[in-house]
Amino acid sequence: MSEDALKRGLEMMDEVYGPGFGESMPTERSPMLDDTIGHLFGEIWSRPGLSVRDRRLLVIGATAALGRADLIEIQVRGALANDELTAEQLREAVLHLHYYVGWGNGTQTHNGVEAALRKHGAAETKDES
């Protein structure tokens, strides 16, 4: 993976998940992590055809089908950090997804969204004090 692709990928990770996210990546990386940074974020997420918000909604839908509350939470935290989706919009998306991904996976999606909203609310409260 070229250094340029890695740099572009880390910058896109900051755009997707909030400033400083790329800095949280380990300095000793594996080939898979380098491919995730350089290819997925440096080439796929940065393509011009869809906005970051559009791509995030697709990832939330796909991740909901997997029932992965932990991955949903990461996406929702990014959406909240970037003011892409409101709590009301996220909860509406959860309700909609319940009918397409099954009730169990929808419940996990709900859990991930609510965990991110709680943390985001705690972060806002902390910032205001």
Give the least confident one: 6-15, 97-106, 120-129.
120-129
Given this model, what pLDDT does residue 129 score?
A: 47
Q: Which residues contact 82 (CB under 8 A, 6 or more apart)?
A: 15, 16, 18, 52, 53
CA distance 21 to 6: 14
Query: Can you say how many angstroms the Cα of residue 47 is from the centroid of all Cα atoms in its chain?
Result: 17
Structure tokens belonging to residue 100: 């397409």
Q: Taking a C-beta distance cutoff of 8 angstroms, is the pair 63, 100 a contact?
A: no
Residue whose token pair is 């009730």: 103
Given this model, what pLDDT does residue 121 score?
A: 87
Given this model, what pLDDT does residue 128 score?
A: 52
CA distance 56 to 60: 6
Q: Each residue of 21-78: pLDDT tens digit?
A: 988 888 888 999 999 999 999 999 999 999 999 999 999 999 999 999 999 999 999 9
The residue type at 100: Y
pTM: 0.86
CA distance 61 to 56: 9
Query: Exposure of 30 by Cβ count < 10 A (0-12 exposed, 13-18 middle, 19+ buried)?
Result: exposed
